Structure 1
Amino acid sequence: MLTLFGKICRKLRIDNGELLKDMADKLEVSSSYLSAVENGKRNVPHDWFNRILELYSLSSTEAKELKEAIAESQLTMKLELDSFNNEEKSLMMAFARDIKRLDESDKSKIRNILLQSQKGVR
């Protein structure tokens, strides 16, 4: 299934008259690897954001969309926990373990709390 990142890549190719192979060559990977990333079978490599940004001269709006698409398309995420205290580590691990058991209402509440804290509202 094509990820959001894959959809953006496909649009970039269409807008630039390119094939999957053309973009893969620019990113210095095989077509099958690029396809696997676009379809969510592999994580988007860390350096691709900057490379795509430069290769396709993305606007600030397009760059923001690409960054969000990469984050949304990740299969795995590595967290550096050394800067967190034990209580914070425990909270993050509990959330990761239990998120699938939360109902949509609880997820919405947590999302709202996090969005408010990003805006400095509490």
Structure 2
Amino acid sequence: MLSKFGKFTRKLRIERNELLSHMAEKLKVSSSFLSAVENGKKSVPNKWPDSIKDIYELSSKESLELDKAYLDSINSISLNMENKNEEDKEIILSFARKFDSLDNKSKEELKNIFEIVGGYDEL
């Protein structure tokens, strides 16, 4: 079953009259790997959204659509905590552990806080 990312890349190829093998070549992977990513059998490599934006010179609208598809297709996100102190690491991990138990009101309050400090970009 095609992932949202897969649907986006397939649509992009069709609009540009391009074969899967051509896109795979541009992304420097095999056709079978690209196909597996599109079908949700492999994870989307982190660098692909930026690579696709650059290679295909996507418009702002297309870039946003790609970002949404990418975020919908990933199951996990890694955070670089290399330069974080122990207290910051503890806060970040605590937030991540408790996120699923937050109710909608709490999530909305957090969203408002992030908007105030300029750290929330709705995709």
Q: Tell me the TM-score normalized by structure 1.
A: 0.74
Root-mean-square deviation (CA, aligned residues, Å) is 2.6
Distance 1:26 1:82, change over 3 A: closer
Tell me which residue corresponds to 1:118. Answer: 118
Q: Distance in 2 between matches of 1:82 and 1:55?
A: 31
Q: How many residues align?
A: 120
Distance 1:79 1:56, change over 3 A: same
CA contact (8 A) 1:42 1:75 kept: no
Distance 1:64 1:88, change over 3 A: same
Distance 1:36 1:115, change over 3 A: farther
Deviation at 1:119, TM superposition (A): 6.6
1:108 equivalent to 2:115? Answer no
User: What amino acid is the match of 1:63?
Assistant: S
**Residue segments in structure 1 that go unaligned for 5+ positions in a row:** none
User: What amino acid is the match of 1:37?
Assistant: V
Distance 1:31 1:119, change over 3 A: closer
Q: Distance in 1 between matches of 2:39 and 2:100?
A: 23
1:35 equivalent to 2:35? Answer yes
Deviation at 1:38, TM superposition (A): 2.4
Instruction: For residues 63-89 of structure 1, give each alpha carbon's deviation from its aligned partner in whole angstroms, at most 9, with x where no partner exists.
Output: 343244334433332212132232221
Q: Distance in 1 between matches of 2:67 and 2:117?
A: 21
Deviation at 1:93, TM superposition (A): 0.6
User: What amino acid is the match of 1:84?
Assistant: K
**Residue segments in structure 2 that go unaligned for 5+ positions in a row:** none
Distance 1:90 1:119, change over 3 A: closer
After TM superposition, the runs of 4+ consecutive aligned structure 1 residues lying more than 4 A away are none
**Percent of residue pairs bearing the same amino acid type:** 45
